[in-house]
Amino acid sequence: MEYRQHNPLPIPVSGAYQSLNATIETVLDWQYELRKQNLLALYEKGKTLAWNANDLDWSIDVDIEKMMRERVANGAATLMNTLMKPPVPLKDDELVRMQLHMNSFMLSQFLHGEQGALLATAKIVQSVPWEEAKFYAANQVADEARHVEVYHRYLTEKLGISYGVNDQLRQLLDTILCDSRWDITFLGMQIMVEGLALAAFGVTRLQMADEPLIQDLIGRVMADESRHVAFGVLSLSDLYRSEMTSSELREREEFVIEATHLLRDRLLMEAVFERLDWDTKLWVEWAKQTPFMVGFRQMMFQKIVPNLKRLGLLTPRVRAEYEKLDLLKFEHMKDSVEDPDVTPPHELVELLMQFMAASPAAQGNGASATA
């Protein structure tokens, strides 16, 4: 593995490394009973579908700015100003810059989330009490290392723009990695973080339908991630319905609510507006209120909500909070065991296809509309 880092990622003010006091209980399973056949089947599937980052065609020339300019030249700026209703009408160059930076921000957070998943899954290997779950988690560790590899390479070799870890994501990762309870690691990473990432990957893939390298990259990662989320759902089945005291369940409810707010707030993209030197307060307020951005953030929870319902964690308390956030509309969708795929809502697909209409490659890529 060798590639040129044209654009090393920004280093946080706190330094290049961060140490966490992640004390965990390590469990050895001397039974090796292997009773959970659904987890063993998932483990076999993961082994069979493993891929190599070098399988991607890294020789592809990636020019996102050119792609955005082609779209803008054919009327995308007018469309986006009309639909997104920004606080200040955007000129063509400004829209290109915003799209470039929003795209790189999302891809950067994917990278940072994957590193969090790498460490969290290694923690699961140590702490989960069943051998078959240890098997699958060990396989997932290799998946996550591969995801870190491909996103880092894409950002540093191909894009030329990248962002440090978002404060809300880092706070959530710190909590997940430092909590000593194995089920919180599962709940935080497999259900919440990776559940949202699946939806975000699908939208990013749709937005970049005319970029073949990212299509291949995200397509491979999404196939892995859908199994990872299913792993979390299968592993936590019945735990919250029958094996927890009321006080323990309340702690999990509080965690879900806090994680939900952190995941939503990371999508406000404050760092993008700061980097563009725009009025950050004005633009963040726009991101909080404009219907397009509100809908975008809500859509990210389309797998999280039915998965929580399956686990018995869409409790009255969580439901009340999710009702305020207008997230209950997803509760009747299929969960990750019933259907591992994520399909962006029809309305969002229509909007993005209008925005990309200038690109012949996008028009010819019918598969990308289903992400």
* Cα-Cα end-to-end distance for the chain: 28
Residue whose pair of structure tokens reads 């319905």 in the numeric block? 241
Q: What is the pLDDT of residues 34-77, one digit of tens each?
A: 988 999 999 999 999 999 999 999 999 999 999 888 877 776 66
Residue whose pair of structure tokens reads 């090796």 in the numeric block? 32
Q: Which region holds residue 34: left if phi is over 0, alpha if psi is between -120 and 50, else beta?
A: left
Whether 199 and 367 have beta carbons less than 8 Å apart is answered as no
Q: What is the pLDDT of residues 159-211, one digit of tens each?
A: 989 999 999 999 999 999 999 999 999 999 999 999 999 989 988 988 888 89
* Distance of alpha carbon 142 from the chain centroid: 18
Q: What local confidence, expressed as pLDDT, does residue 238 receive?
A: 86
Q: What is the pLDDT of residues 290-329, one digit of tens each?
A: 887 888 888 889 999 999 999 999 999 999 999 999 999 9
**HEC sequence for 227-285:** HHHHHHHHHHCCHHHHCCCHHHHHHHHHHHHHHHHHHHHHHHCHHHHHHCCCCHHHHHH
Gap between the Cα atoms of 335 and 233, Å rounded: 9
Q: What is the pLDDT of residues 85-134, one digit of tens each?
A: 889 888 889 989 998 999 999 999 999 999 999 999 999 999 999 999 99
Whether 229 and 303 have beta carbons less than 8 Å apart is answered as yes
Class of domain 70-370: mainly alpha
Residue whose pair of structure tokens reads 């009747």 in the numeric block? 332
Q: What is the pLDDT of residues 245-269, one digit of tens each?
A: 999 999 999 999 999 999 999 889 9
Q: What is the pLDDT of residues 336-346, one digit of tens each?
A: 888 877 766 66
Q: Using the predicted structure, report yes or no on whether residue 363 has a pLDDT greater than 80.
A: no
Whether 27 and 126 have beta carbons less than 8 Å apart is answered as yes
